Amino acid sequence: MVRVTQEGMVHSALLRLQERLSSLDTAGKRLSSGKAVQVASDDVSGMNRILGLRARIRAGEQEARNAADGLTWLNVADTKLQTVSDRMHRARELIVRAGSTNDATAREALASEIESIRDDILSVANTKIDGRALFAGTSAGPAVVAGAGYTYGGDLNDVQRRIGAEDLVTVNVNASDVFGFTDGENLFATLTDVATDLRSGNTQAVLGKLDDMDRAQQRLSAGLAAIGAATNHIDAAMVRNDDEQITLKGELSKVEDIDMAAAIMELQTQEVAYQATLGALSRVLQPSLVDFLR
């Protein structure tokens, strides 16, 4: 026969009260936080799922930031190269006009404007974004160095942004390709030669530069096409990222968030159970410590 003592009954009563109070506390925390899993011990597999989903959401948010930064690079580059394209069209018009100009004063004016166009394009080529030369690869720049001649001052590395788990996109074009250094006929030298030939009256040499200008325009168009393709790539990736984020957050809510109606019912049930336990034990153990706990 098991011996039942007053001390044992009190101890057992306190344990039951503690269990009920713990359950009531847990139900209250779930309702106030709105989260079904408070600590890993509540639901180990559920917590693992939550942590995995949160990690994927954070990765997606970083990829979205990378994509936005990449678009900034591409949009600035596109704007700048469109400006260069306009200036090159103007330079070509001046070269064509020079073919029918014999007046030295007019040739000097054309030469001065050609040099102004060259300097404008040089300024564009050395544009910086966030302190880095836009068209110098990963080099600090400047992209184009003007001295006795014109040289490419950057490197040939790609500036890339990770916009997906397995998706890296190049967000730059470099001045070596766009302005002809790679091909050995850079645009700045061509415009300088045009101005020199204009001043010397060598109109045939000036007109001979039209083919060089056309090739320069083709290189610029190739750069703009690369920028457009990268922009479309990032736009599509951002749409996919937004869709995935919505899906992941929905899955996280299913695992992590409580059913509010069920949580309220659970809290009420635990309150009733706690009060019932207090009432039952107070009758069994009168007079006892339970009377002072009620």
Which amino acid is present at 116?
S
Residue 1 lies in a domain: no
* 40 and 47 Cβ atoms separated by less than 8 Å: yes
Residue 263 has pLDDT above 70, yes or no: no
Residue 209 lies in a domain: yes
Q: Do 288 and 233 belong to one domain?
A: no
Residue 208 has pLDDT above 70, yes or no: yes
pLDDT higher at 279 or 208:
208
Collect contacts of 43-52 with beta carbons under 8 A, ≥24 apart.
Answer: 46/255, 46/256, 49/255, 50/252, 50/255, 50/256
Q: For residue 39, how many other CB atoms are within 10 A of its CB?
A: 10
Residue 96 lies in a domain: yes
What is the structure's pLDDT at 198? Answer: 94
Domain that holds residue 143: 72-251
The mean-pLDDT minimum among 4-18, 46-60, 76-90, 101-115 falls in 4-18
What is the structure's pLDDT at 291? Answer: 52
For residues 260-287, give the mean pLDDT: 61
What is the structure's pLDDT at 284? Answer: 56
For residues 40-56, give the mean pLDDT: 79
The enclosing domain of 109 has a CATH number of: 1.20.1330.10
The answer, yes or no, to whether the previous bond of 142 is cis (omega within 30 of 0) is yes
Residue 179 lies in a domain: yes
Nearest in space to 95 (alpha carbons), one of 227, 195, 165, 162: 195
Q: Do 10 and 93 belong to one domain?
A: no
Q: Do 28 and 83 belong to one domain?
A: no
Residue 27 lies in a domain: yes
Beta-strand relationship, 128-129 and 150-152:
unpaired
Q: Do 118 and 48 belong to one domain?
A: no
What is the structure's pLDDT at 289? Answer: 52
At residue 156 the predicted structure's pLDDT band, cuts being 50, 70 and 90, is very high
Residue 88 has pLDDT above 80, yes or no: yes
Residue 293 has pLDDT above 60, yes or no: no
What is the structure's pLDDT at 61? Answer: 95
* 258 and 31 Cβ atoms separated by less than 8 Å: yes
d(CA 144, CA 88): 17
Residue 58 lies in a domain: no
Mean pLDDT of the chain: 84
For residues 212-223, give the mean pLDDT: 96
The mean-pLDDT minimum among 18-32, 84-98, 99-113, 118-132 falls in 18-32
Residue 193 lies in a domain: yes
Q: Do 118 and 175 belong to one domain?
A: yes
Q: Do 32 and 87 belong to one domain?
A: no
Residue 36 has pLDDT above 60, yes or no: no
Q: Do 90 and 222 belong to one domain?
A: yes
Q: Do 121 and 229 belong to one domain?
A: yes
Q: Do 86 and 218 belong to one domain?
A: yes
Q: Return the half-sphere exposure (C-beta side, CA atoms, 13 A cut-off) of residue 3.
A: 3
DSSP string, 4-55: --HHHHHHHHHHHHHHHHHHHHHHHHHHHH-BS-SSGGG-HHHHHHHHHHHH
Q: Do 99 and 165 belong to one domain?
A: yes
Q: Do 120 and 210 belong to one domain?
A: yes
What is the structure's pLDDT at 14? Answer: 64
Q: Do 168 and 247 belong to one domain?
A: yes
Q: Return the SS3 of 156.
A: coil
What is the structure's pLDDT at 101? Answer: 81
Residue 67 lies in a domain: no
Which amino acid is present at 249?
K
How many domains are there within the chain?
Answer: 2
pTM value?
0.75
At residue 191 the predicted structure's pLDDT band, cuts being 50, 70 and 90, is very high
